[in-house]
Amino acid sequence: MLSIVFATSNPNKTREVKEMLPEGFAIKSLQEIGCTEEVPETSPTIEGNAIQKAHYVRDNYGVDCFAEDTGLEVTALDGDPGVYSARYAGPQRDATDNMDLLLKNLADKSDRSARFKTVIAFTLNGQTHTFTGIVNGTIATKKTGKDGFGYDPIFLPENHKISFAEMDKKQKNEISHRGRAMAKFLAFLDQLPD
């Protein structure tokens, strides 16, 4: 079984990624390698943050790992909240506060198009590989659904009339930004020599 360190302290992301993994793969947490501090993410880009986190773990703990960063980019807000998606309404990183602020900022906008973007960065033998997943959609006018996390209750993926939070896990994982990035990452892992 291939065991890979996932450089995140977000239990929702860990759970979602574990659900996408086929047999033969296992996720190791940061806590399992002794990393209890907050991994820095100070890059101005989503890709930069993913790379920064993966490099931090590799450089400080001596293990290859993968990290991901995700952002919601809203067209009418010039791509905001983007890299600041988790902290959009403040350092408390509260999903409800973030959604409420986003809906308020879009209240007078006719263009509600947006996209979710995930970048996975994987360090292996001194090299860094990145895998990007994007899903286009629109921001709803109100929250719907009870599943998912983050902005899921207000994001309607393209060609769907329900939010990510209204979808079952399997349906969301098949079309989501994270699911698309993970599919590319897993395809890369499949090509690696044993």
Q: Which of 69, 80, 190, 194 is catalytic?
A: 69
SS (H, E, C) the chain: CEEEEECCCCHHHHHHHHHHCCCCEEEECCHHHCCCCCCCCCCCCHHHHHHHHHHHHHHHHCCCEEEEEEEEEEHHHCCCEECCHHHCCCCCCCHHHHHHHHHHHCCCCCCCEEEEEEEEEEEECCEEEEEEEEEEEEECCCCCCCCCCCCHHHEEECCCCCCHHHCCHHHHHHHCHHHHHHHHHHHHHHHCCC
| Annotation says 69 is catalytic | yes
User: What is the pLDDT tens value at each position of the chain, 194 positions in all?
Assistant: 678 899 988 888 888 888 888 887 888 889 889 999 999 999 999 999 999 999 999 999 999 999 999 999 999 999 999 999 999 999 999 999 999 999 999 999 999 999 999 999 999 989 999 999 999 999 999 999 988 889 999 999 999 999 999 999 889 989 999 999 999 999 998 888 76
What is the C-alpha to C-alpha distance for residues 89 and 119, in angstroms, rounded to an integer?
Answer: 22
The values of phi and psi at residue 128, to 5°, are -120, 130
